[in-house]
Chain A
Amino acid sequence: MNRQIIFITETIQNQMTQPVKELIGFGASLIPDHEYQSLLIVPGQDVAELAKQISSETGIHTLAIEHEDFKFPNPHLLGKILPTVIQKSMPSYICMNHNVRNCHLAATLAIRINAACITGVESFEIQNGYPVFTRMMFNGKLAAKTACKTEPIILTVIPGALSDSLIPNRKNGKGTIHVMKTDDLRSGYHPQKVYETIAKDNRLEEADVIVSAGMGIEKEENMELIRKTASIFTNAAIAGSRIVCDHGWLPYGCQVGETGKQVTPKLYVACGISGTIQHTAGMKKSNCIVAINKDPNAPIFSIADYGVVEDLKTFLPILIAKHDEQKN
């Protein structure tokens, strides 16, 4: 019998929040012989057209689930509706892009349908016929390998886990489209609106160099070291990790990462930043990354071009002094 994979996408006001092509490619590679059927679930307020469009682009069967409370992401309500849909097709995998709301949905489904659930999947390998998933732990410092003993397996997959090129060319042509209206269902979760919080400020976008501070700076006074380091460059801005902004040492407009800004400067100097995926999601596409961290095992070194294992409190003053010496 053909195996089943269910993909779930997220929409805001009938627009997808993340691309699904890569996710579909990831799912396909989970079943090496590609003998599987797939279904893409698209929740939204009015998403029949969107479902049709994805279906014709990817050849995948789609199910649009419509409800007025799906105008904005609603993992609670979706978690109520999906078990009956899922139990009908008994899938091997249920895949979604990784974000906190999808973790919420994954958790709800795992409880409702009593299934395995692994969030933040970065890669996988097949061992003895079974998939083994790799994900990060301990603030990104260690990678864990997890095996599942039962199906279905619910996964949230980190974008970038697989490249588009791995998407198989599916020949099954046009997928079917179904629309399910669920307006009569009530839940205790009613999204009102989505709004933006980051002020328009292009300093980070326009800078050639970003000198960024993490909790390794230890106290607010040491922000001065970051500012001084930035001043050795012709066109630099300063930024920070979320925790530095949470402490009020920098305004939130300077926060880089998943929930902050995405930046791509010519040079990103990460000072005392551990390098969890939530931070690196916002800066890993920088042209050149220099990491200064006193811990040789800090995860930031796994994405940096140049690594310096030093205490930034002693190292940055030396860097600044050497620069001043050379200039004079």
Chain B
Amino acid sequence: MKILVCIKQVFCSENELKIRPDGKWIQETDSTDFRMNRFDEYALEEALLIKETHTDATVDVISVGPERVKEVIKRGLSKGADNGIHICYHQSGYCPPQAVSRMIADYAESQSYNLILTGVMAEDDMQCLVGPMTAGLLSIPCAVSVIKEKIDIKNKIITVHCEMENGKVEEVLISMPAVLTIQTGINRPRYPSLSNILRANSKELTVVDGFFPEEPPDHHELLSIGYPVTSSRISMLEGSAEEKALQLLSIFHKKSLLK
């Protein structure tokens, strides 16, 4: 069984994000921190767990982006993926989901994967689209927000449990090959082992040139990004930590909520 896991490198959004002068993306500097998209950590772990039970399985990790995304591919290898594929897309900034999924689907088609895993959502663009768009391009089924799966290799059927809102779950049978978008909590992502880190560092990546379509198939344009307007009702407490604590206690006291 051949498994492909799509992993994205994202900005550490807990840190300060500076907007580029043209207003269209985040300003990158030498000290900008990146990490693997949180949801993709779970997708990769799920692939590695599948490989533990289906010992003939291979796990490839793929990432679309500039040179720096090699770091997350290496991290994927150091957790135990077999091969790393870098689709080089130099244009920095927002890359629309139609373009990303087209690049992933083109590569996937040439390799006939049985299973493609993505995260439910990328923490940066938050679109929840690349997984199902890739499935659409390959004309294979997709299940989103998967929190459990059971693979029946013989009959080429996967039983998936897909999370819905308010604690509801939908159980679905889908045929293979398929794309699953993985939700957090499905497993506990592992840390890389030292031997795998060494192996990952010496491993050659497959590098594919991303394409730059003259007329991008995306139909939309990101005009600008900016800080959202905050609610007018908020009052930010000022002063030292002690003063803020006292202010909070007085608010709680007025509402008669304290012991």
Chain A residues with a Cβ under 8 A of chain B:
17, 72-73, 75-76, 79, 99-101, 103-104, 106-108, 110-112, 114-120, 132, 135-150, 153, 187-198, 208-209, 231-236, 242-243, 245-246, 248, 252, 258-262, 266-267, 274, 276, 288, 290, 295, 297, 299, 301-310, 314-315, 318-319, 322-323, 326-327
Contacts and interface: CB of A to CB of B under 8 A. Distances in A.
Contacts of B185: 242, 245-246, 252
**B-side interface mostly:** mixed
A229 to B, nearest CB: 10
Contact of B223 (A79, A146, A276): A146
B154 interface: no
Contacts of A248: 188
Sorted nearest first, the 9 A-B pairs with minimum C-beta distance are A198-B167, A111-B136, A116-B219, A188-B175, A107-B132, A103-B128, A246-B185, A143-B228, A188-B141
B223 A132 contact: yes
Contacts of A318: 241-242, 245
B141 A233 contact: no
Q: Which of B166, B173, B230, B236 has the most A CB atoms < 10 Å from its CB?
A: B166
B194 interface: no
Contacts of A260: 166-167
Nearest to A74: B172
Contacts of A195: 168-169, 171
Contacts of A143: 225-228
B153 interface: no
A108 B136 contact: yes
A147 B184 contact: no
B13 interface: yes
Contacts of B19: 142
B64 interface: no
A327 B259 CA distance: 8
B17 interface: yes
Interface in B216-249: 217-231, 233-237, 241-242, 244-246, 248-249
Contacts of B33: none
A137 B220 contact: no
Given A143-B227, A188-B141, 9 more contacts: A76-B174, A101-B162, A103-B144, A107-B97, A107-B128, A194-B170, A233-B258, A260-B167, A308-B244
